[in-house]
Amino acid sequence: MNELIEDIRKGKVILFVGAGVSRILELPSFRELIDHIAQELDFDPELFHDLGDHLTLAEFYKLQTGALGPLRSWMDTNWHKAETDIGKSEVHRLIVQLDFPIIYTTNYDRWLEKAFEFFRKPFIKIAGVADLLKIREGTAQIIKYHGDFDSDESIVLTESSYFERLNFQSPLDIKLKNDLFGKNILFLGYSLKDINIRYLLYQIYRTWSDSKFSYMRPQSYILLDRPNVVQQKVLEERGITPLVSESDDPKESVKIFLEHLTGNIGH
């Protein structure tokens, strides 16, 4: 933990932000998204959930309707309700305050960007290859790793788009591999029940284990809201340090952890 704090102070940590951080703002869950898809396609929501996981059901929606556009519009509206006050989110304030030079997020919503705007911190949003030209030294980067509501094509939501992501060869994947040199990673807001994050952690591990420079592999950390001896053993084998929160409430655990970091870093 002390090493992580010191590396954050030196600007040597990349932050990965998952759905757990967005859920703090009471945004819809994937279950609610699938309920909406079911209603749009005239299925009983409870029965629809039994027909596949969210990737397959989103793929079915795209096949039935021909495009993700209407669904993306619904998500954009419901993920960005006018009554959401980003200024009241301590978690988002602390993320901005900690001055991570690079933030990757698998969330589609714009609340990280809105937090940077609210707290008057400059940033560059990167959602595709053209955005890489905007990178400026000393300006925080927010990389929309699973896509952005500004582009239907960028969103990783359907089974086919997820399978394409598994190639780990997109421009953003190449950027991530480059960013890993000389920097550690901290994962916040992720559940290890999510195959997406487990696969990403495995790919990062493979990137280094297949290299003759494996001894230079940076440290990765992930915040868990409760102990799990099985998950912790697997993570440690892959060079990832699990940090167990003081609270088993997922919303409180992230806030308490970030407060601990800021208190020790002195921001």
Contacts of 123 (CB under 8 A, 6+ apart): 113, 116, 139, 140, 141, 142
pLDDT of the chain, 267 residues: tens digit per residue: 788 999 999 999 999 999 889 989 988 888 999 999 999 999 999 999 999 999 999 999 999 999 999 999 999 999 999 899 999 999 999 999 999 999 999 999 999 999 999 999 999 999 988 899 999 999 999 999 999 988 888 899 999 998 887 777 888 888 988 888 778 999 999 877 777 777 777 777 777 776 676 666 778 898 988 888 888 888 887 778 889 887 777 778 899 999 999 988 865
Packing angle, helices 90-97 and 111-118, rounded to 10: 70
Every domain of the chain with CATH number 3.40.50.1220 lies at: 2-26+85-265
DSSP 106: -
| 3-state DSSP assignment of residue 16 | strand
Look up the pTM and report it.
Answer: 0.91
- Output the pLDDT for position 29: 86
- Output the pLDDT for position 216: 67
Biggest distance spanned by C-alpha atoms of the chain = 55
CA distances from 240 to 6, 204, 243, 247 (A): 17, 10, 10, 21
What distance in Å separates the CA atoms of residue 66 and residue 49, rounded to the nearest whole number? 21
What distance in Å separates the CA atoms of residue 188 and residue 167, rounded to the nearest whole number? 24
CB 69 within 8 A of CB 158: no
CA distances from 253 to 3, 24, 63, 171, 245 (A): 20, 11, 39, 33, 6
Q: Which CATH superfamily is domain 2-26+85-265 in?
A: TPP-binding domain (3.40.50.1220)
